Amino acid sequence: MAALSARSTGRGGARNRADRVSHDLTIAQIGNLKAAERHAEKIGLPFTRMISIHWEGAGVPLAGMAKATYRFTDLLTKALARHGSRTAWLWTHENGDGKGGHCHLLAHVPADLVPVVMALQRGWLRRITGQPYRARVIHSKPIGGRLGLDAGNPDLHAVNLEAALAYVLKGASPEAASQFGLERLEPGGRIIGKRCGTSQNIGAKARKSKD
């Protein structure tokens, strides 16, 4: 798992151990995710796509979600790199009644490479789970409802991105919701291991080096 440690943006130690249990996003986590979103825009990699993966529906146990999400983002990053594109992403995990463990991912995917990602993503899930793809496990859509909105209508894209980010942060703790003025809240559920993450290029260390 050397590659995982090299790319991880976690701080290590007991707080990020694989068996750590949490029930909501903390003030620090939400602050980091919001700063990461701003930095993605700053470096020219605004989030353009929202991807939701129902890991429990794909046969992944709760304790295996963090590894599965890491593998998916790694495959996404490498596929885009093969086509000459960089990316940035952030994700959160939730565990809800009737849904089980699932991931919400915001990522930069250039409009012209969306067909590439769409053609590959079910295969990635088969590789990750070792099982045939199950219907309705993955949902992928452009932020704002249409491709290229970030370039064609930046103001409208910004409004829709704000709404998408609020959605993935809805599992905030009451304290975090109050701190950041989050209005849409739902129970985030019990999560084992990492509850959220970002790509290295928009993590805290990358942001600090740009200051």
State residue 97's pLDDT score. 77
pLDDT beneath 70, residues of the chain: 1-18, 211
What single letter denotes the amino acid at residue 89?
A: W
Q: What angle is formed at CA 10 by the lines to CA 72 and CA 67, rounded to 5 degrees?
A: 30
State residue 17's pLDDT score. 63
Q: What is the pTM of this model?
A: 0.90
State residue 96's pLDDT score. 86
The answer to whether 197 and 90 have CB atoms below 8 angstroms apart is yes
